[in-house]
Structure 1
Amino acid sequence: MDRPAAPAFRSTSLPNSLRTRPCTAPLNTAVGSRNSGFAVGQGPITPPLSPGHSDEGDPSIVIDSEPRYSGGGTPPSECPTRGTRAAVAEEAMDIDSEQSESSPKPPLRRLEDEENHLTSGTLKLTDFEVKGTLGTGTFGRVLLVQLRGTSAPSSQNCFALKVLRKSEIVRLRQVEHVNAERYILSRVRHPFIVDLYATFQDSLNIYMLLSYVPGGELFTHLRRARRFTPDVTRFYLATIILALKYLHSFNIIYRDLKPENLLLDSRGYLRLTDFGFAKIVDDRTWTLCGTPEYLSPEIIQSDGHGKAADWWACGILCYEMVVGYPPFFDETAYGIYEKILKGKILWPREMDRLTKDIIKAFLHPDRTKRLGNLGGGAQDVLDHPWFRGVDWDALERREIRAPIIPHVASLDDTRHFSHLPLPPASEIPGLINEEHPPALQQRFDPSAYQFMEF
């Protein structure tokens, strides 16, 4: 059968109130270069409601109407580029999981029992020299920085510095998300998750010092290859599953899985990044967040969601890697939601039976019957016949050769990222000059008070 070409645009996942500002790259860790403009949505819409659901008294759910892909029934032939970071996070919808009908499930491990890995008191912002801008976004940017006084770049002295403007975080009601991202990343350590080493703040910004992952986004490599073979897909999906298994052991749901949030290191292994939507959830939560093409039915229907939403996203990602575009796409987010709820998937004739079987198992509309959310949890995924022959322990030890080895000349190589101008010194004051303790009246600034942990 004729295969549709890859769709032309990708929506992305920033909180809804960001949709009116230009954004050339997401604010995770370092992000890849893409020649794309910012597609402004035509106004807020709400997702379809589940049968019998009443929206009386519910807070509005506002999202950006521009999806990751647009272009009608069949995707256009041009390679996709980044569109807006579609906003689907609404603080007002965040309901405590204790209100769920089912009994909360205690985590296998408690995050508060894990060591806090952040460096405290030994580093200052002025210890770093800005080497370049890797990406920009609505309320900040990502910089490549190197420790001063070091010559040869190495993984010990080159970092991605995520810079977020405090006033914008407060204005956009993302304080809770930013603080949760810091807390989670300060305690998790896994070979397939980006590392957070330290956090700082100055009079304008908060800063997150993250590992620099020089190989670029999986998105870029997938678009270059158009689609991956089942074997290549199996390698990448297996690393993601190990990362999710680790996160889920703490009852952390990630909620923003997509190729743009998967970075390749110099050896070709994936690192999961951008934990802005990650949350510790013992049972279910009602926050509407994620990327339209990757939202599970229970998120769209406001039925409450948990770990099963991450396994649904694995199915979408597996399909996108094998076929070249996601199973549900449309010009508008509303159209995407309708197709997700209908659940009709176009299966290429050449797709093998086992690949189709695991995708269908991930994309089961009933979360109680979805692979990964059954009695065996993540172990059911590892035991699926599609993964037969995978040495999971060797993979986690990174002993298997990756299918794509990014061309990286040095550990500070930025060829896979945007080449953007350096920010003005006035926008990163703490990196230019060490700031003195604020005056007494400034210490009670409301925005500064909300980032006491930084």
Structure 2
Amino acid sequence: MGDDQLAVLDIHQLEIISYLGRGARGVVFLARDKSSNGELFALKTILKVATSTNKHKKIDHNDSSELSEIHFEQKVLRVLQHPLLPKLRGILATKIITGYAIDYCPGRDLNYLRKKQTERMFSVDIIRFYAAELVLALEYLHNMGIAYRDLKPENIMIQENGHLMLVDFDLSTKLSPKLPSSEERSIILEKSPLLPKSNSKPPMKKRNNNRLSLFCCRHDFPIQDSVHPAESEDHISEPISTYTITSSFSKTNSFVGTEEYIAPEMLQGNGHDHMVDFWCLGIVLYEMLYGTTPFKGINRKVTFYNILSKTPELVGETTPLRDLIRKLLVKDPKERISMVQIKGHEFFLGVDWEKILDIARPPFVPGPLDENGMDVNNIDIEGFVKNVFEANVDCDVDKEKEESDGFLIF
């Protein structure tokens, strides 16, 4: 989408409904543009001074363009054409902040939804539905040469129609598209009727209740108020902030992510590629099944040690889901299960990959949004964002001091 087709937002024409939460680099608000049709959108804002002076920022020597994180994220959002990924709906720029508008997801995030379930865990059938949609979203990104690199429940939103939306591309990077091996190509040929066409936009039909039987899902979630969460009370995941953007080649040495979800190859510093997303997928599935992540320690150093040396405890009888998690959490990325193998795994037996997005009644569909009950809050978003980033600078200094012992020297 070119700039001439993209709405330029005027900060004086914005109605800020509420503060929604924080991404890896930005502050997100629920807003609407008074000068347009009045539809709600999520407005992600970043302090300009923070992007230009971020002491953590590291640019790859192979990248002569030296694009900032925010510019890369906007570039990604401009080209995404998939119903499980956001669309860029407008851009904002003032002397103090820069930002952009994307689709608003009223169902909150997957972490919030999990906590509303009995024992704070999902059933296997519901995990299968959400896992399948995550696989489709990652497949689309990998085919575009994008490694997502920050897959976690807080970045997995629930759309108005109940389908997922993967958001927050702050830590993503451009790599060469992931090409299948000769063995995988033979599997693709064998299973081609079940694979989606990666070069076309998957359909999103509104009416097809019969498709729900693909996953044996029940519509047994409570209907919640329709807002994004601000920071969770007991699961605040702060991303690690050493960032690089690469040119189009097979691996990068940058160190990014959220500590409980970081792949071993990233900690080892030997270069990583798209396979880090499958490690993160394994962590997310584990968390959906057990209600906790598998390697979390009492501090970052212990967590990283566990990631590098411990085997995840898959308590319970051997099942296809536990087997899939085990194969995703293989420490050597060369031995980790691939995209083709994931889609052909026993856990997804019977799933028609072409028809997942046709399902009209996913496990949880948010209740209708009562816009009449929304009050416009007079939030000074420039001042709000400035305060958040100034607080982050102080926290970053403390973290650097705490980690100066040299644990991350490989």
Q: TM-score, normalised by structure 1?
A: 0.61
| Aligned-partner SS, 1:304 | coil
**2:340 partner amino acid:** Q
One-letter amino acid matched to 2:276: A
Q: 1:260 to 1:147 in 2, by over 3 A?
A: same
1:186–1:150: structure 2 CA closer, same or farther, 3 Å change rule? closer
Alpha-carbon RMSD: 2.7
Q: Is the 8 A contact 2:15 2:376 kept in 1?
A: no
Residues 138 and 402 from structure 1, CA distance in 2 versus in 1: closer, same or farther, beyond 3 angstroms? Answer: closer
Q: Unaligned stretches of 5+ in structure 2? A: 58-66, 177-249, 386-410
Q: Which residue of the partner structure matches residue 348 of structure 2?
A: 387
Residues 341 and 426 of structure 1: CA distance in aligned 2, closer, same or farther (over 3 Å): closer
- Whether the 8 Å contact between 1:119 and 1:197 is mirrored in structure 2 is no
Q: Are the equivalent residues in 2 in contact too, given 1:118–1:186 (CA < 8 A)?
A: no
Question: Does the alignment pair 1:237 with 2:131?
Answer: yes
2:292 to 315, 321, 325: 325
Q: Distance in 2 between matches of 1:150 and 1:158?
A: 11
Q: CA deviation at 1:142?
A: 1.7
Q: In the alignment, what sits opposite 1:368?
A: 334
Instruction: Report the alpha carbon displacement of residue 421 of structure 1 after superposing the two structures with TM.
Output: 5.9
**Per-residue Cα deviation, 1:68-124 (whole angstroms, up to 9, x for no partner):** xxxxxxxxxxxxxxxxxxxxxxxxxxxxxxxxxxxxxxxxxxxxxxx5588336654
> Cα deviations across residues 207-254 of structure 1 (Å, max 9, x unaligned)?
211111111011111122111111111111111110000000011000
CA distance 1:303–1:136, change in 2 (3 Å): closer
Unaligned runs of 5+ in 1: 1-114, 373-377, 430-454
Q: CA deviation at 1:401?
A: 2.2
Q: What are the equivalent positions in structure 2 for 1:339-354 lying under 5 Å apart?
A: 339-349=306-316, 351-354=317-320
Contact 1:135 1:420 in 2 (8 A): no
Name the counterpart of 2:169. 275
Aligned equivalent of 1:424, options 360, 380, 401: 380
Q: Assess if the C-alpha contact under 8 Å between 2:85 and 2:165 holds in 1.
A: yes
Q: Please report how far the alpha carbon of residue 136 of structure 1 lies from its aligned counterpart in structure 2 after TM superposition.
A: 5.2
Instruction: Tell me whether 1:219 sits opposite 2:111 in the alignment.
Output: yes
The aligned residue for residue 253 of structure 1 is 147
Cα separation, 2, equivalents of 1:364 and 1:312: 8
Distance 2:373 2:127 in 1: 26
| Residue 135 of structure 1: how far off its partner (Å) | 2.6
Mapping for residues 46-445 of structure 1, pairs under 5 Å: 115-116=1-2, 119-120=5-6, 124-135=10-21, 141-148=27-34, 157-173=39-55, 176-225=68-117, 226-282=120-176, 283-349=250-316, 351-372=317-338, 378-396=339-357, 398-410=358-370, 422-424=378-380, 427=383
SS of corresponding position for 1:369: coil
Task: Find the residue that maps to 2:252 and give its secondary structure.
Answer: coil
Question: What displacement does 1:426 show?
Answer: 6.1
Q: Structure 2 counterpart of 1:224, which letter? A: K
Q: Which letter maps to 1:336? A: T
> Secondary structure of the equivalent of 1:266?
coil
Q: CA deviation at 1:333?
A: 1.1
Change (3 A) 1:121 1:394: closer
Distance 1:259 1:420, change over 3 A: farther
Counterpart contact for 2:159–2:165, Cα < 8 Å: yes
**Shift in Å, 1:322:** 0.7
Shift of 1:260: 0.5
Which structure shows the higher helix fraction? 2
| Partner in structure 1 of residue 194 of structure 2 | none
SS of 2:354's partner is helix
- SS in structure 1 at match of 2:292: coil
Shift of 1:127: 4.0
Give 1:303 deviation, angstroms.
1.1
* Inter-partner Cα distance in structure 1 for 2:131 and 2:373: 26
Deviations 1:429-450 (A, max 9, x none): 9xxxxxxxxxxxxxxxxxxxxx
Structure 1 stretches of 4+ moved >6 Å: 411-414
> Structure 1 residues 339, 244: CA separation in 2 closer, same or farther (over 3 Å shift)?
same
- Letter matched to residue 427 of structure 1: G
1:141 Cα deviation (Å)?
2.6
Aligned-partner SS, 2:116? helix
Checking the alignment, whether the CA contact within 8 Å between 1:197 and 1:211 is kept in structure 2 is: yes
The whole-number CA distance in structure 1 between the counterparts of 2:311 and 2:296 is 11
- Which whole-Å CA distance do the structure 1 matches of 2:91 and 2:109 have between them? 24
SS in 2 for 1:303: coil
Aligned-pair CA distance for 1:406: 2.5
Query: How far apart are the structure 2 equivalents of 1:178 and 1:425?
Result: 18
In 1, Cα distance between equivalents of 2:106 and 2:140: 24
